[in-house]
Amino acid sequence: MDIKTQYISDDNGNIVSAIIPIDVYKQLLKYIGNSDENLESLPKWHAEVLRERLEKYESGKEKLTDLDEFMNRLKVK
């Protein structure tokens, strides 16, 4: 699937948002579902790790890596 993504940058050139086609967004929502329900289906220890990481992200203590950057890192190693 070829996803045409548009990026929004701040004044410093940092990407702060991504815009994806609505049909892709709807597919993602179907796949992801309710995040609380998904966490309940995981082992307790794993759900706790994910909750902690989400809290760090929401508080600004953890930065996300976009998929392209992640894939490029894998290719380098």
Structural domain boundaries in the chain: 1-33, 34-77
Asked if residues 40 and 33 have their Cβ atoms less than 8 Å apart, the reply is no
Q: What is the pLDDT of residue 38?
A: 62
Which band of pLDDT confidence, cut at 50, 70 and 90, is reported for residue 69? confident
Handedness of CA 40, 29, 63, 56 (dihedral sign): negative
Whether this prediction's pTM lies above 0.85 is answered by no
Q: For residue range 8-28, what is the model confidence (pLDDT) as tens digits?
A: 999 999 999 999 988 888 877
Q: What is the pLDDT of residue 17?
A: 92
Q: For residue range 15-63, what is the model confidence (pLDDT) as tens digits?
A: 999 999 888 888 777 777 655 666 677 788 888 888 888 888 889 888 8
Tokens matching residue 17:
């948002």
Q: Which residues have C-beta within 8 Å of that of residue 59, sequence separation ≥ 6?
A: none
